[in-house]
A and B are shown apart, each in its own frame.
Chain A
């Protein structure tokens, strides 16, 4: 049994030491919002936050983490889909099939945490997730819109 801090809760989970965080989240913690797309850190579908930093969970063993690290998955991004990125995504109908979108949203929210008003160049440099449905243009708009929503939230 190992302790992991996931979405603000400390969970005791039983897994083999080499199991990637992705599969512990999906199969032991039952949090299937984080997706498997490639398993080699090339698609971003498995992106979660570890202490606020985006991380591709398919290539890091869960045993590398302990209760001191705060792991946030899409399920824990906000209690009610009210995160600015989620609001912007809803407003612009960003998802198509939706399979890549957990990872997109986690990558976008991490970008905005570090850079509240990213330029297109910042987005180009930081958003390397792929989307086979091709939502990229709306993802870009969504990030700009989320930045606005976030700024309004601060002044309000």
Chain B
């Protein structure tokens, strides 16, 4: 046991509690800003325009409250208890079509299809007849949280709900069989069900699910359901196609940014470019006469929105609107100050310990060989392809919201707070997300939309952030540096390791109530003694600690969260140690992984598949990395070339993942490839820097993303060993960057320890 038993790794991050905390944190931050600079923050009453102008369009919004934007193909089915609802998870129509309710959000990661597979597996229905719909957070509230958490983050969509979702399918199946048996007046034990057909075995009679669904719905749910043995799964584990592809090929998919409602107005917003700053004054008269402008709305104490008939006109007027800000304390901070703060933390005293065994400091002192290196990993914006947006329609007694969100319940809470209405009088319609990556767990943009809509009672208003606003008002992947020291004995064996992280804490910024005696255990993802985020190695003398150095930049959960940098720090340093020991990087890890057979298995698999053993004879430059993240073991072997002119090409990456059970291997492959694009974009050019308190990068020209010409060929080995449920969307992002960095060393003999690589002198195609 490495640590006192009191450590609770925060493996529920991204789930309901965390997201609710986050909703709270966002409001708290706003309020703090309010108190912080109140003196200068005049709160102008709706600018210079008359109140009447704000009511324009109210009469035009004749549409009722039923403008739900669910899956358009099943929009008729409301998620309230209906006659064809067998239970909360399963609706079966007379034509045998099956609608499976999905509580978590689909943002590209394929969870929707995976969850439907889980329900359908136990339901034994005809997969070709399966469609889906989202229940709303309000329905969840009114039905006693029958769908439980809506939170979609921390790679927990499936592993956090697999049990009760499968039970929902199994219970519905039992009820359908019982209903058929009742129809035939036989014992349910004589009946079987498969492919949406119930068969009375002795007589051979059959009924379809659709024929008995209404009867089944009237039955009491079974007290006990038994789930299938994984070896009997027919659908879980199959590479079935996604359920939500067709509309993404022809423009029909409605994203939040695409919502159109009768009489709808459009809003563009600008918040203080420095976090913690406030709005001083703005001159609405300057834009009042611009075409289409309907109003200028101050939001909280730190933002202002322009509302117009179209978004283009709203954004144009916003650009023309004179706004003065009070930047507050953060306004004096620049990148060099932050780096200096982090540098100081690399050697400072700290009580914040994540993992400790033996006596690392003493063992380092006496080690035969001491290796030391300092790494850094920057602030990053999520840069979801679809900028933040939400549409709201407010009246005195009801508020309706359409938004892309990773957490319907947090959006619901945020909307209700902004609307000044109880939760029962607020409805949130979840819309497909144009990317999430952790950004859309926070309801900040939902609150803004409601606050704007409140000024136009009865009229729907769509708020869309410009890319520039989206880049500035993010929840940034925290900045850190690490000083890592390792001690080798005379045989070149690792006997001591001290990994010091210096930098920002996400929990301290967003949910300080989740700190444990001041420790942010999320900082130590992949380095903890046990649990979902445990370290992959056993080192006799180990110390992993954190000098917390926070700034005013708002931190957030960015795909993979802290495994991104922790894997670089750990895996690149192990490569350095192996090199210092004169040992092959794979062989060097072997003795450290004897108690981690799954980690070793994925590492060996990528090494073998990549031809690691023959790389020198073949003249190929490879790099390895392995990590444990979000409950899964993942590894990668990257191959790069670096030409004489320093042109880097990432040729190929073989990845392996052991998520325990794998629900859909082809979607798992897609997630591995996608996580690599996200992680390698950060490795090559990501980075948000701070100048005068503001994020400098405002668009994709200064915050580029990997292009197809730079995309390595990715081969994914899906290696589910069974028996547990690990994450899929995030874990593999951990290994892309360190594997490539180690391969660059193999090719050049030079260590790149600073992410991104854009200052390394390497050139990318």
- By a beta-carbon cutoff of 8 Å, the part of chain A in contact with chain B is 16, 18-20, 23, 26-28, 30-40, 42-43, 45, 73-75, 77-78, 81, 86, 89-90, 93-102, 105, 123-125, 127-140
- B 102-122 to A, binary, CB cutoff 8 A, 1 in contact else 0: 000011111000000000000
- By a beta-carbon cutoff of 8 Å, the part of chain B in contact with chain A is 106-110, 241-242, 244-255, 257-258, 260, 266, 291, 310-313, 316, 383-387, 432-437, 464, 466-467, 666-667, 670, 673-678, 699-701, 704-709, 711, 713-714, 765
Main secondary structure of the interface of B (DSSP, over half): loop
Complex-state Cα separation, A75 to B252, whole angstroms: 8
Which of A18, A95, A140 interacts with B708 by CB under 8 Å? A140
Complex-state Cα separation, A139 to B291, whole angstroms: 41
User: Hey, which chain A residues are within 8 Å of B700, CB to CB?
Assistant: 37-38, 40, 42-43, 130
Do residues B250 and A75 form an inter-chain contact, with CB atoms below 8 A? yes
User: Hey, which chain A residues are within 8 Å of B246, CB to CB?
Assistant: 81, 90
Do residues A37 and B467 form an inter-chain contact, with CB atoms below 8 A? yes
User: Hey, which chain A residues are within 8 Å of B707, CB to CB?
Assistant: 127-128, 130, 136
Contacts A32-B254, A32-B258, A81-B246: A137 and B109 contacting too (C-beta < 8 A)?
A: no
Do residues B311 and A23 form an inter-chain contact, with CB atoms below 8 A? yes
Complex-state Cα separation, A8 to B433, whole angstroms: 30
Complex-state Cα separation, A124 to B386, whole angstroms: 24
* Shortest beta-carbon distance from A146 to chain B in Å: 12
User: Hey, which chain B residues are within 8 Å of A27, CB to CB?
Assistant: 266, 310-312
User: Hey, which chain B residues are within 8 Å of A127, CB to CB?
Assistant: 707-709
Do residues A39 and B435 form an inter-chain contact, with CB atoms below 8 A? no
Do residues A96 and B387 form an inter-chain contact, with CB atoms below 8 A? no
User: Hey, which chain B residues are within 8 Å of A125, CB to CB?
Assistant: 709
User: Hey, which chain B residues are within 8 Å of A102, CB to CB?
Assistant: 251
User: Hey, which chain A residues are within 8 Å of B247, CB to CB?
Assistant: 98
Q: Which residue of chain A lies nearest to B678 when distances are taken between CB atoms in the complex?
A: A134
User: Hey, which chain B residues are within 8 Å of A39, CB to CB?
Assistant: 466-467, 699
Complex-state Cα separation, A81 to B433, whole angstroms: 22
User: Hey, which chain A residues are within 8 Å of B248, CB to CB?
Assistant: 95, 98, 101
Do residues A36 and B673 form an inter-chain contact, with CB atoms below 8 A? no
User: Hey, which chain A residues are within 8 Å of B385, CB to CB?
Assistant: 35, 37, 43, 45, 97, 99-100, 130-133
Do residues B433 and A97 form an inter-chain contact, with CB atoms below 8 A? yes
Complex-state Cα separation, A156 to B350, whole angstroms: 72
* Shortest beta-carbon distance from A120 to chain B in Å: 9
Complex-state Cα separation, A80 to B383, whole angstroms: 32
Which of A45, A98, A135 interacts with B253 by CB under 8 Å? A98
Q: Which residue of chain A lies nearest to B389 when distances are taken between CB atoms in the complex?
A: A36
Complex-state Cα separation, A85 to B249, whole angstroms: 9
Do residues B245 and A93 form an inter-chain contact, with CB atoms below 8 A? yes
Complex-state Cα separation, A20 to B246, whole angstroms: 28
User: Hey, which chain A residues are within 8 Å of B386, CB to CB?
Assistant: 35, 37, 97, 99
Do residues B706 and A73 form an inter-chain contact, with CB atoms below 8 A? no
User: Hey, which chain B residues are within 8 Å of A95, CB to CB?
Assistant: 108, 242, 245, 248-249
Contacts A40-B700, A130-B700, A137-B711: A77 and B250 contacting too (C-beta < 8 A)?
A: yes
* Shortest beta-carbon distance from B709 to chain A in Å: 4
User: Hey, which chain B residues are within 8 Å of A101, CB to CB?
Assistant: 248-249
Do residues A16 and B291 form an inter-chain contact, with CB atoms below 8 A? yes
Do residues A134 and B467 form an inter-chain contact, with CB atoms below 8 A? no
Do residues B250 and A97 form an inter-chain contact, with CB atoms below 8 A? no
Do residues A96 and B711 form an inter-chain contact, with CB atoms below 8 A? no
Complex-state Cα separation, A134 to B676, whole angstroms: 7
Do residues A124 and B435 form an inter-chain contact, with CB atoms below 8 A? no
**11 A–B contacts from the bound complex (CB under 8 Å):** A33-B250, A35-B257, A35-B385, A38-B467, A81-B249, A96-B108, A130-B704, A133-B674, A133-B677, A136-B673, A136-B706
Q: Which residue of chain A lies nearest to B109 when distances are taken between CB atoms in the complex?
A: A96
Tell me which of B251, B254, B255 has the highest count of chain A C-beta atoms within 10 A of its own C-beta: B251
User: Hey, which chain A residues are within 8 Å of B254, CB to CB?
Assistant: 32
* Shortest beta-carbon distance from A97 to chain B in Å: 3
Q: Which residue of chain B lies nearest to A80 when distances are taken between CB atoms in the complex?
A: B250
Q: Which residue of chain B lies nearest to A91 when distances are taken between CB atoms in the complex?
A: B241
* Shortest beta-carbon distance from B675 to chain A in Å: 7
Which of B251, B291, B436 interacts with A32 by CB under 8 Å? B251
Q: Which residue of chain B lies nearest to A33 when distances are taken between CB atoms in the complex?
A: B251
Contacts A133-B108, A134-B675: A140 and B711 contacting too (C-beta < 8 A)?
A: yes
* Shortest beta-carbon distance from B408 to chain A in Å: 17
Complex-state Cα separation, A79 to B10, whole angstroms: 50
* Shortest beta-carbon distance from B245 to chain A in Å: 6
Complex-state Cα separation, A23 to B310, whole angstroms: 9
Do residues B313 and A130 form an inter-chain contact, with CB atoms below 8 A? no
* Shortest beta-carbon distance from B765 to chain A in Å: 8
Do residues A16 and B107 form an inter-chain contact, with CB atoms below 8 A? no
Complex-state Cα separation, A136 to B680, whole angstroms: 12
- Extra pairs beyond A93-B241, A98-B244, A124-B765 (18, CB < 8 Å): A19-B312, A26-B258, A36-B257, A37-B700, A40-B700, A43-B705, A93-B242, A93-B667, A96-B109, A97-B386, A97-B435, A99-B255, A100-B385, A128-B708, A132-B383, A136-B677, A136-B711, A137-B713
* Shortest beta-carbon distance from B372 to chain A in Å: 35
Q: Which residue of chain A lies nearest to B309 when distances are taken between CB atoms in the complex?
A: A27
Do residues A137 and B705 form an inter-chain contact, with CB atoms below 8 A? no
Complex-state Cα separation, A100 to B700, whole angstroms: 14
Complex-state Cα separation, A139 to B432, whole angstroms: 21
User: Hey, which chain B residues are within 8 Å of A97, CB to CB?
Assistant: 106-108, 384-386, 432-436
Which of B258, B266, B677 interacts with A134 by CB under 8 Å? B677
User: Hey, which chain B residues are within 8 Å of A74, CB to CB?
Assistant: 250-251
Do residues A124 and B709 form an inter-chain contact, with CB atoms below 8 A? yes
Q: Which residue of chain A lies nearest to B674 when distances are taken between CB atoms in the complex?
A: A134
Do residues A98 and B434 form an inter-chain contact, with CB atoms below 8 A? yes
User: Hey, which chain A residues are within 8 Å of B433, CB to CB?
Assistant: 97
Contacts A32-B254, A75-B251: A137 and B706 contacting too (C-beta < 8 A)?
A: no
Do residues B706 and A130 form an inter-chain contact, with CB atoms below 8 A? yes
Complex-state Cα separation, A134 to B385, whole angstroms: 11
User: Hey, which chain B residues are within 8 Å of A33, CB to CB?
Assistant: 250-252
Q: Which residue of chain A lies nearest to B250 when distances are taken between CB atoms in the complex?
A: A81
* Shortest beta-carbon distance from A138 to chain B in Å: 7
Complex-state Cα separation, A89 to B384, whole angstroms: 21
User: Hey, which chain A residues are within 8 Å of B467, CB to CB?
Assistant: 36-40
Complex-state Cα separation, A78 to B249, whole angstroms: 10
Do residues A42 and B699 form an inter-chain contact, with CB atoms below 8 A? yes
Which of A45, A96, A128 interacts with B674 by CB under 8 Å? A96
User: Hey, which chain A residues are within 8 Å of B310, CB to CB?
Assistant: 23, 27-28
Do residues A133 and B250 form an inter-chain contact, with CB atoms below 8 A? no
* Shortest beta-carbon distance from B558 to chain A in Å: 12
* Shortest beta-carbon distance from B189 to chain A in Å: 40
Complex-state Cα separation, A36 to B241, whole angstroms: 27
Complex-state Cα separation, A102 to B109, whole angstroms: 18
Complex-state Cα separation, A125 to B253, whole angstroms: 29
Complex-state Cα separation, A90 to B247, whole angstroms: 10
Do residues B313 and A16 form an inter-chain contact, with CB atoms below 8 A? yes
User: Hey, which chain B residues are within 8 Å of A37, CB to CB?
Assistant: 385-387, 467, 700
Which of B255, B383, B666, B670 interacts with A96 by CB under 8 Å? B670
User: Hey, which chain A residues are within 8 Å of B675, CB to CB?
Assistant: 134
Do residues A36 and B387 form an inter-chain contact, with CB atoms below 8 A? yes
Complex-state Cα separation, A81 to B246, whole angstroms: 8
Do residues B245 and A23 form an inter-chain contact, with CB atoms below 8 A? no
* Shortest beta-carbon distance from A2 to chain B in Å: 15
* Shortest beta-carbon distance from A75 to chain B in Å: 4
Do residues A105 and B108 form an inter-chain contact, with CB atoms below 8 A? no
User: Hey, which chain B residues are within 8 Å of A26, CB to CB?
Assistant: 258
Tell me which of B383, B434, B707, B765 has the highest count of chain A C-beta atoms within 10 A of its own C-beta: B434
Tell me which of A39, A74, A93, A139 has the highest count of chain B C-beta atoms within 10 A of its own C-beta: A93
